[in-house]
Copies of this chain bind each other. A is one copy, B any other.
Amino acid sequence: MKTLLSSFICCLLFFDTSAKDGYGLWLDYSPVENPQLKTQIDPLFSGFFFFGESPTYDVIRKELDIAGQKMLGKTPIYSKERLAQSKVWLGTREQLSQVLGLQQQVDIRDLGEDGFWMGPIDFQGKTYFTIVGNRPIGVLYGVFDWLKTIQTGAFDPRLQKSDSPKVRLRMLNHWDNLDRTVERGYAGFSIWDWHKLPGYIDPRYIDYARANASIGINAVSLTNVNANARILTTDFMKKAKVLADIFRPYGIKVFLTARFSAPIEIGGLKTADPLDPEVIAFWKNKTDEMYSFIPDFGGYLVKANSEGQPGPHEYQRNHAEGANVLADALAPHDGILIWRAFVYSHELDEDRHKHANLEFEPLDGKFRENVIIQVKNGAIDFMPREPFHPLFGAVKSTNLGIEFQITQEYLGQATQLVFLAPMWEEVLRSRTYRPTSASTVAGIIDGSDSGQKLTLMAGVSNIGTDRNWTGHLFGQANWYAFGRQAWDHSLTSAQIADEWIKMTFGQKPEVLSKINEILLGSHEAAVNYMMPLGLHHIMGWDHHYGPGPWVTGGRPDWTALYYHQADSMGIGFDRTASGSDALGQYAPELVNAYADPNQIPEKYLLWFHHLPWDFEMKSGKTLWEEIGLHYDQGVKTARKMKESWSSLESEIDPERFDHVRQLLAVQVSEAEWWRNSCLLYFQTFAKRPFPEEIEQPEGDLEYYKSLRFPTAPGIRPRW
């Protein structure tokens, strides 16, 4: 026993010194400690039987190898015959048709192409734990779900469970440039090493695919929407093909961004006019070539006529004409064209908030069937909090997908712990009142309210070369949450947090409850110390790091002043009928509710209203006082998060503990910096004292304004 124990300690030491750097994500598969669970699981790993073969089954075996070794110290045994030795059955509905009941087969069929069922099957006097999908990928999803029940201590051998995703395309958008810089990337650089492809395959590509498949992500766009046409050259197709081959058994399709001017840049044409026959032929030939390398290529993602990107407007064509030429090239291959709605004209003539609706509503019904319009969750730009985008519910015959930003451009970047699931949940559950009075954003994008068949939830990736993938270890929770919400938007943030914590840090009650509280309070804290009560777009110039309510110069709609409109009279952007009337783009129910500053939820107050500093809030305090209280509350919550984490020192391995400890200290100082500089700045207009009950903002406004951050990461590339 003594030798056993010392060997086990040796084992743990080895493990601890090498593995707790966060690389393993939620798939680190901690050893199963609960003896009862171990007793239940261990025999299952001695008899996996596959009803057939598939490259996806090969990767399932790889995953079971890893999980078995890490959770049980055991190499799984794959049975060659179906009955005597086998304990776990895996295969498609069709492969298992002889052992499934008829009703069961119908039920499983109805789960759709990505669904799965798992549970015990009694057959000839023996019980087999069975995982079935309609396709091999469904089996993989089922296996990951089953492994999760072990990781979270929820496994029950009598468990019966079926699940299927609500959205067809669950997609990551990488804003990765070909030189490996990442626009708005805060986790190092691009994991795509284009130079070494196709000759060298980084093992990380495989772990990336594993992680995505484990949460149901089935599409990835590899390149920045501010696109480089070179990705569509033959050399780069050969490189992308290698990635597509790696991702295929994991059920992940590759998309690429298409630069609208590619016909000129790499096609040698004089125009990119979408109605020009040579341009049409360019896109057709280019796309045919792409499919010769990647037969299941997903399609193109396009940002056009936005922020300097080329597009159809140069040729007096509209977005539908621009999108359809690419869509037509893709259609014979069942490819999909995703066209972004994040557009606003360069010559500013009114509230930027309204532009997407003004441009896209008139085009409703004009896009091909294989086009999806990808709409950001809000009308401005991934602010810490935005009301949902008014395009949701405004069109009837256009496929709409939603785009969230997982990377924390406006939510703390490289250094802050901000769990985004509550924000996404808030958006998805927002009522649009269109097409029906019960409609929600989620119901539109999953088709249940809108009727659309082609559905999409996209997230701008927060993944980079940092060892832990996401820079901040807790950025992993956002990647995880995005996948889970894209799969099933009815999951709550709390449920998702609970899963992630258990898979990442284990199941100790104290760890679970404290980290849960940290996660679930973090978004509201960030909104409070950055942009409370509907304030928006008051961050630093260009790099967007830290506060910049004083930012002026250049395009008005790239300044802070344009958005907060602070003056001696008050603060906020009047988007009611007396102002820009952006509010008028929403359903009448919302217009009615939001037009009145006393009725609108206060979290959106200054988004839609310009109000006097002494405006009376629901609390009875003035607007000025409430602004101060919110900023101060944000700082206090950040400090509490830091203290709460510190109390877990004995429960978390030193490397991850210290990583998060250091970053929470930075977060507190950044929260104080936001509070102090915003309040000092707004005070120059409000000319009122700070509420007595808050910690008085410290420092010198001129000092804060003088700060420069030349090495802030993630700046947009410049051509």
Contacts and interface: CB of A to CB of B under 8 A. Distances in A.
A19 interface: yes
Contact of A414 (B10, B196, B230, B655): B196
A713 B188 CA distance: 15
Nearest to A543: B195
Interface string A366-408: 0000000000000000000000000000000000000000000
Interface stretch (A44-52, A246-254, A621-629, A704-712): A704-712
A10 B11 contact: yes
B6 A3 contact: no
Contacts of A655: 203
Nearest to A714: B195
B666 A200 contact: yes
A415 interface: yes
A465 B14 contact: no
Sorting the interface of chain A by its residue count into under 10, 10 to 19, 20 to 34 or 35 or more gives 35 or more
A66 interface: yes
A709 B4 CA distance: 55
Contact of A4 (B3, B203, B658): B3
A8 interface: yes
A663 B709 contact: no
Contacts of A712: 195
Interface string A454-498: 000000000001110000000000000000000000000000000
A669 B199 contact: yes
A7 interface: yes
Given A19-B18, A200-B666, A666-B199, A13 B69 contact: yes
A604 interface: no
Interface string A651-670: 00001001100110110010
A24 B17 CA distance: 11
A423 B558 CA distance: 55
A17 B70 contact: yes
Given A8-B7, A14-B19, A662 B201 contact: yes
Contact of A713 (B10, B195, B466, B713): B195
Contacts of A711: 178-180, 194-195
A9 interface: yes
Contacts of A24: 18
25 contacts: A3-B4, A10-B69, A10-B73, A11-B14, A13-B73, A14-B14, A14-B15, A14-B69, A14-B70, A14-B73, A15-B15, A15-B18, A18-B19, A18-B24, A180-B189, A188-B188, A188-B189, A188-B465, A189-B465, A195-B414, A195-B712, A196-B414, A196-B415, A199-B666, A230-B710
